[in-house]
Structure 1
Amino acid sequence: MIKKKCNQNSIFAPYKIIMSSNQNPEEFYEKLKGQLYETAAWPSEYLYKFIIKSDVHAIAKIEAMFNNIGAVIHTTESKNGKYTSISINVLMENPEAVIAKYKEVANNVEGVISL
């Protein structure tokens, strides 16, 4: 795992991944998969962005999920230190792999917001 500042201009991440509470998750991910196939050639670099309450254990848990796959991870605390933004740039094979990682994070880290 490499931690450094990401060059966000060169990374494919055109969608904000915020699912409303009344939205069917599977329909949401199916729509996202279609959009990802339409807008990029795969494999492609993808920029994940997560926001969580600042907690070293939760941050480490997210980082571990992207460990050993060549991810570049950058964390930034909010001004008051209450929240942490995690940006992860990684080469993904296809939209299914992108969505699998979103699901893995959502299922294993309480209170995470995916952007």
Structure 2
Amino acid sequence: MNEQTPNQEEFYKNFKERLDDTTEFPSNYTFKFIVPTDNKRIAEVQRLFDGARPQFSMKESKNGKYTSVTAVVYVLDADQVIHYYKSASGIQDVMML
């Protein structure tokens, strides 16, 4: 995994605080990603959650260029949510919502 810049560190620190303030853990957490409509990219996103028993849903954009991938996963804490997002940041052309 790539080293984090100070801005990324600050972002994840603030994100963790917001998660802890607004989410009761453990709980189901909804992750949303936008990826180019490409089976390889979609599979990369799905592999992030191997072993987590996710529930996936997908929806192609109107023109078919992008696919929205939603994963609902049972997580134990904010650190686990952040772990998934950091892992997703390594996937080329993925947008995290």
| TM-score using structure 1 length | 0.77
Aligned equivalent of 1:15 = none
Identity %: 37
Distance 1:48 1:72 in 2: 10
1:41 paired residue among 12, 16, 24? 24
Corresponding position: 1:110 with 2:92: yes
Shift of 1:43: 0.6
Distance 2:20 2:89 in 1: 22
Shift of 1:67: 2.1
Aligned equivalent of 1:14 = none
Corresponding position: 1:66 with 2:49: yes
Shift of 1:92: 0.5
**Worse overlay, 85-94 or 37-46:** 37-46
2:68 paired residue among 61, 82, 85? 85
1:94 paired residue among 69, 77, 91? 77
- Root mean square deviation, CA, Å: 1.1
Amino acid at match of 1:112: V
Which portions of structure 1, spanning 4 or more consecutive aligned residues, are displaced by more than 3 angstroms? none
Amino acid at match of 1:31: N
| TM-score using structure 2 length | 0.90
3-state SS, counterpart of residue 52 of structure 1: strand
Work out the number of aligned pairs and report it: 92
Shift of 1:41: 1.7
Shift of 1:40: 1.8
Unpaired segments of 5 or more residues in structure 1?
1-22
Unpaired segments of 5 or more residues in structure 2?
1-5
Distance 1:83 1:111 in 2: 10
Shift of 1:94: 0.4
Shift of 1:39: 1.1
